[in-house]
A and B are shown apart, each in its own frame.
Chain A
Amino acid sequence: MQGFFSFSKRFLVLFPSFLLYMGVGIEEGYVCPRCGNRDPRFLGINKGQIYCRKCIAFVGAKAAQLPSVPKEVRLSLKYSLSKEQKILSDHIVSNFRQGIDTLVYAVCGSGKTEISYGVISYAMEHGLKIGFALPRRDVVVELFFRLKDAFPDNRIVAVYGEHTSCLTGDVVILTTHQLYRYPHYFDLLVMDEIDAFPFKGNEVLIAMYKASLCGHCVMMSATPSKEIIAEFKKERHDIVELRTRFHKHPIPVPVIYERPSFWQPIFVIKKLKEYKKKGKPCFVFVPSISKSEELYRFLNVFVKGGNYVNSQRVGRENIIESFKRGHLLYLVTTSVLERGVTIKDLQVLVVAADTVRIYNSATLIQIAGRAGRKSDAPNGEVTFLGEKTTKSMQEAVEEIGYCNTFL
């Protein structure tokens, strides 16, 4: 994109009359009623009518405004909440009753989802409309089954791309892209992973989330941005923090190795052989889609029994499923698997962690949070490989170390 801008600037200097062509025929100050877009470059005219080009793809059936009735709720959990989780859960419920929006700032693997069950069952008992929004589709599917187990008597509905036949239920789990179907609808909206792509910084999706909410929200994140924290420091907003994992073991602190880039694959092979002996599964994170295939082809020569996934890979659900079952030894992946994945006794390697464009500190913290999530395997090894140590890598290590001091 940068290349284009310099190109267009050159044109601007040569032909200033270009400026006249921008936003021709569109009056000043038109604001899209759906997404709040007012940039004339993203407005168009069809049939003499102005339309917004940012939210044009969000067309489809809207959810019916059904009157909801109080329901009986039976919460069945296979395990009990820890003391901290219980306190937080009650705190969120009391906040919701007083009409206060809550931000749950909790580390990876602390059981954020379980904390929200309290407020969800409270809202269901009072006959309110509940939504659970997440940016990623894979995570929506996983959460759907988790909630179904937790609330066996209630109707849980998952709404995501190509799966939109049923739009209403006791609890609606949806991707943030589907929020446009629920204008002014939810009395309680729980949002997880708010700092994840594509929700993060996407004005259209943020506008849609605001439009769909008519009650109060509970936001959850392990790595909230400064803007979100600033917003929740205002009046009628509250931040609750949880700095320890539910199993009371420290979060694995990443180890940074500085190696030249040609040496990094060889380092990965060494590590993979070590993990193979111990029988531990491993994620190898790479910064780009093309790299994932490239590195896998190289690793496959030396260490058999792996695979690679990226957002373009067809049938990646099956590959991830077989990895979870333990059929695969390692998985070369892009950041698609950076969050929402829980695998027992997982080891993590990050190749080219000094790629600033992809790996900011929040992403690295999320990646490191994949390790040691289960209480029966609380330890894991997290390795950052880079030619040099970047600020993000340093920040991630410091942040995780800081959280561990709360034990």
Chain B
Amino acid sequence: MPSLRWSGFLHSVPVCGRCYNEMVPKEQLFKLDGFQVRCLYEYNEKIRSLLYQFKGCNDIELASVFLANQASFLKIAYKGYTLVPAPSYQEKDDARGFNHVVEMFKILDMPFLFPIVKRDDVKQADGNYEERQKIGQHLHFLLDVSVTGKKILFVDDLITTGATAKACCHLLKEHGAKKIQILAMGHTRYDEKDLNKTPP
């Protein structure tokens, strides 16, 4: 635990080896509707509890833990890209005090753009496969933000069925983004049984 606080302030200090191993770093590269996706971790108990403490209990100090060890590599790999975080419901962010995706990827020191907003409070984790694919109905593109000719990196904390990522990337493409890639912290397998799981 002591290392976590440190890494929050100094990005060059990575997560200690023991915690890093428990998080099971497992890079996965695959294509989603023609968009390149990179996932950094396998979703496991450690990631779940860390994310729960970060998102559910509003522990902002954990923000940089997730990407601390890969940050320097990612900075080089995605040079020249602009980050677009996954849209989240504004009132939820206000209640939490921060946007978890933005805080998590701040460590990359890359410019952010917020062209997509979610106007309704829908949670992807609660829906089944069909419901998840309809996420596009709730997303709105803000026309005063220009992504034309830009290289966009769409970032999110977890990717499950990829419905949100797909919908957002298609929106970005329609509005003239030059190149789009997806970066997610963890990759979860979509499983009907897991839906009823509750946090500890």
Contact = CB atoms under 8 A, between A and B. Distances in A.
Interface of A: 1, 3-4, 7-8, 11, 18, 21-22, 24, 41-42, 44-47, 51, 53, 56-57, 59, 161-162
A351 B154 CA distance: 52
B8 to A, nearest CB: 8
B16 interface: yes
Contacts of A8: 2-3, 6, 13
B16 A7 contact: yes
Contact of B10 (A7, A21, A56): A21
A3 B16 contact: yes
B3 A4 contact: yes
| A interface: dominant SS | mixed
Given A1-B16, A4-B17, A47-B97, A42 B1 contact: yes
Nearest to B94: A47
A75 B61 CA distance: 51
Given A47-B97, A57-B57, A41 B17 contact: no
Contacts of B16: 1, 3-4, 7
Given A24-B9, A46-B59, 8 more contacts: A4-B3, A4-B18, A8-B13, A41-B2, A44-B60, A45-B60, A56-B53, A57-B52
Nearest to A24: B9
A42 B97 CA distance: 19
Contact of A46 (B9, B10, B13, B58): B58
Contacts of B137: none
Nearest to A59: B57
A162 B197 CA distance: 10
A22 B6 contact: yes
A162 B196 CA distance: 12
Contacts of B53: 56-57
Interface string B4-25: 0110011001001110000000
Interface of B: 1-3, 5-6, 9-10, 13, 16-18, 52-53, 57-61, 97-98, 198, 200
24 contacts: A1-B16, A3-B17, A4-B16, A8-B3, A8-B13, A11-B13, A18-B6, A21-B6, A21-B9, A22-B6, A41-B5, A42-B1, A42-B5, A45-B60, A46-B60, A46-B98, A47-B97, A51-B58, A51-B59, A56-B53, A57-B52, A57-B57, A57-B200, A162-B200
B93 to A, nearest CB: 11
A18 B10 contact: yes
Contacts of A45: 60
Shortest 8 CB-CB contacts between residues of A and residues of B: A4-B16, A21-B9, A47-B97, A44-B61, A56-B57, A46-B97, A46-B60, A41-B5
B42 to A, nearest CB: 15
